[in-house]
Amino acid sequence: MPLPTAKVTASSATGTPADRVPASYEAALQELEQLVSHIESGQMPLEQLLTGYQRGAELLGFCRERLQAVEGQIKVLDDGVLKPWTQE
């Protein structure tokens, strides 16, 4: 009979569930900043570093997706016509 194994999740590393979707861009950014600070402190055990890194990657992906979505929605009024915003 196999021995049970402990599953290490980002929840145990950072106090937040790994599959929890942030409520907003700002919430994700705040959690990401706290996580980076905690990792950089050098006080996290090795197992928590890995799960913290994974959660950070998830948060970063969420933030990037939100930024791209908002960027696509920005409109610029040009001669009375709404046009998609383009970076110059």
Identify the CA nearest to 59 among candidates 4, 87, 88, 17: 17
* Per-residue pLDDT at 22: 94
Return the pLDDT at 14.
47
Distance CA 5, CA 27 (A): 32
What's the predicted TM-score (pTM) here? 0.64
The pair of structure tokens assigned to 22 is 């942030």
Partners of 76 in beta bridges = 83
pLDDT in tens, 6-57: 333 344 444 555 568 999 999 999 999 999 999 999 999 999 999 999 999 9
Which two tokens mark 59?
Answer: 């948060």
Rounded CA gap, 46 and 13, in Å?
Answer: 10
Domains plus CATH for the chain? 10-84 (1.10.287.1040)
